[in-house]
Structure 1
Amino acid sequence: MSAQAPEDDLQVWVDQDLCTGDGLCVQYAPEVFEFDIDGLAYVKDPGGELLQSPGARTAVPGRLVLEVIDSAKECPGDCIHVVRGSDGVEVAGPEAA
């Protein structure tokens, strides 16, 4: 069994309480992240709809896995969480091992 999660098994969410509005995530993966009128980043569902509920998660498109993980690693607010959908283990973000 591979140590890496299947690409379509990853989910991402943003903790808006920690978001600094820096915008790296929107630059790295604009299909996944977007600013709302409050100046904070949110995730979008596969149809492009902004998910504004606290802790709302969306699937990470396979072709954007690296960009989303880089967003989590580079985020100055440490507010982006990338987790495996199967077990909820954080693979990138402030709680990643």
Structure 2
Amino acid sequence: MATPVNPGDSPDLSPDLRVRIDQDSCTGDGLCVQYAPSVFEFDIDGLAYVKNADGELQSEPGTHVVVPLPLLTEVRDAAEQCPGFCIYLERADGTLEAGGPQEEPAEQARADAG
């Protein structure tokens, strides 16, 4: 018999992961909607927004929703593949898990050196 896993023991099972989109950076490519249509949807402005657990579009820019654990992989993939780097997968304390703006290696090297 398998031992139950405490969600706090694994970052992938943490119940406090949430996701939001920075609409100012959204390019409208739709990869997020393809990866996780239960979590992301386009609004009339052509930009992606998150949906709550009831499937209701949250059209207020920057609104975050809790990530359903069965969709964690899809949401993480959407955040990592987004060409606009506008999806933020975060813990409740604001720690970034995936997504967001990506620094170029040269920019990172300069930041580390300076």
Residue by residue over 1:39-58, the C-alpha shift from the partner in whole angstroms, topping out at 9 and shown as x without a partner, is 10000000011111121000
Task: Tell me if 1:62 matches 2:72.
Answer: no
Q: Quickly say closer, same or farther: Cα 1:5–1:84, change in 2 above 3 A.
A: farther
Task: Tell me if 1:11 matches 2:1.
Answer: no
Asked whether the equivalents of residues 5 and 84 of structure 1 are also in contact (C-alpha less than 8 Å), the reply is no
Q: Distance in 2 between matches of 1:35 and 1:26?
A: 8
| Residue ranges of structure 1 left out of the alignment (5+ in a row) | none
Partner of 2:44: 37
TM-score normalised by L of structure 2: 0.77
Partner of 2:107: none
TM-score normalised by L of structure 1: 0.90
Deviation above 3 Å: which 4+ runs of structure 1?
none
RMSD: 1.7
The letter of the residue matching 1:15 is: D
Report which of the two structures shows the higher radius of gyration computed on alpha carbons: 2
Residue by residue over 1:25-68, the C-alpha shift from the partner in whole angstroms, topping out at 9 and shown as x without a partner, is 00000000000011100000000111111210001000000000
| Residue ranges of structure 2 left out of the alignment (5+ in a row) | 1-7, 103-114
Q: Which has the higher strand share?
A: 1
Higher relative contact order (CA 8 A, sep 6+): 1
Task: Tell me if 1:89 matches 2:95.
Answer: yes
Secondary structure at the residue paired with 2:74?
A: helix
The aligned length equals 95
